[in-house]
Amino acid sequence: MDSAPLIDPFARPISYLRVSVTDRCDFRCTYCMAEHMQFLPKKELLSLEELDRLCSAFIGLGVKKLRITGGEPLVRRDIMTFFRSVSRHLDSGQLEELTLTSNGSQLARFAPELAAIGIRRINVSLDTLDPAKFAAITRWGRLDQVLEGLKAAKAAGLQVKINTVALKGFNEDELFDLVRWCGEEGFDLTFIEVMPMGEMGEEERLDQYWPLSQLRARLAERFTLVDLAHRTGGPARYVSVGGTGQKIGFITPLSHNFCESCNRVRITCTGELYMCLGQEDRADLRAPLRASAQDADLVQAIREAISRKPKGHDFDYSRQKVEGQMPRHMSHTGG
């Protein structure tokens, strides 16, 4: 079977795959999903075995980094069976990194086993350290449960990166508290601009949007920030905080997009391949996956999809208008 690496039309190698294993979550974060979500019927979801086969096909085509997302990936029943199985690619050396993005709610239960199978670092989404604000933004979440999960992750030896969505009027006043807390805990910290995804009003999106250029300028009032060449395979650009050695990342899909170096694609829990988070074009991989036990048609479908990967997204908040908004919720694509 043809195993030549995946290269998109703009000569970008595709080495990073993000896979959603469920659309379900035990939180309802306001920028990610509706409070009363209509979840998919089980028959539409890829089985854990199908997810393994799909990931393995991409790894055979040169993917070196695999990130598991959701929803909340750790709420899927028997998910550790999948992690244990796909970790064989770490043992073989074909896969350089297996990791996940979590809301932290289930880490107290799963962190030791995640570390034992070869996961070295995880991303945890956390937008505030205030219990009342946390309950408001997640609708259903409890901050103490997440903090216990983070404690368990540290104890298991996992490197933790906190992902914080920058939300104007919500966590602006916690900027330095978040930086200090992450420094004390030994966590890296990455700020993310809120993206126009999901059916929210234009006014609400504009009210939330806090450009990271402004956030960084605020940080620079107190700290010396030194640009780093450090990369983790994703879109973040990093700085070191002078005097502390702390690392802070910035993911800026709006104020300064990172499309020119995009090396990733995303698969939903139903087997849809999105070549760009900010575009609607997608490819159905579930059909060829289920049509044959052989991978030839699946690989052909993957290659055809990558041949359509666009140069970039169309997100734009300029001129006080939201452009390029995606009607699907963030939880559908897996972030």
| 67 assigned to a ligand binding site | yes
| 55 assigned to a ligand binding site | no
Nearest to 65 by CA among 267, 263, 305, 301: 263
| 330 assigned to a ligand binding site | no
State the Cα angle at 126 between 179 and 95, rounded to 5°.
100
| 161 assigned to a ligand binding site | yes
Cβ atoms within 10 A of the Cβ of 308, count? Answer: 15
| 266 assigned to a ligand binding site | yes
Helices 107-116 and 143-155 sit at what angle, rounded to 10 degrees? Answer: 20
Distance CA 27, CA 104 (A): 10
| 195 assigned to a ligand binding site | yes
| Phi, psi (rounded to 5 degrees) for 61 | -100, 15
| 101 assigned to a ligand binding site | yes
| 125 assigned to a ligand binding site | yes
Distance CA 94, CA 59 (A): 7
Cβ neighbours of residue 53 under 8 Å, at least 6 residues apart? Answer: 289, 295
| 182 assigned to a ligand binding site | no
| 22 assigned to a ligand binding site | no
| 264 assigned to a ligand binding site | yes
| 32 assigned to a ligand binding site | yes
Q: Which residues fall in the annotated binding site?
A: 18, 25, 29, 31-32, 67, 71, 101, 125, 161, 195, 259, 262, 264-266, 276
Residues annotated within the binding site for S-adenosyl-L-methionine are 31, 71, 125, 195
Annotated binding site for [4Fe-4S] cluster: 25, 29, 32, 259, 262, 276
Annotated binding-site residue numbers for GTP: 18, 67, 101, 161, 264-266
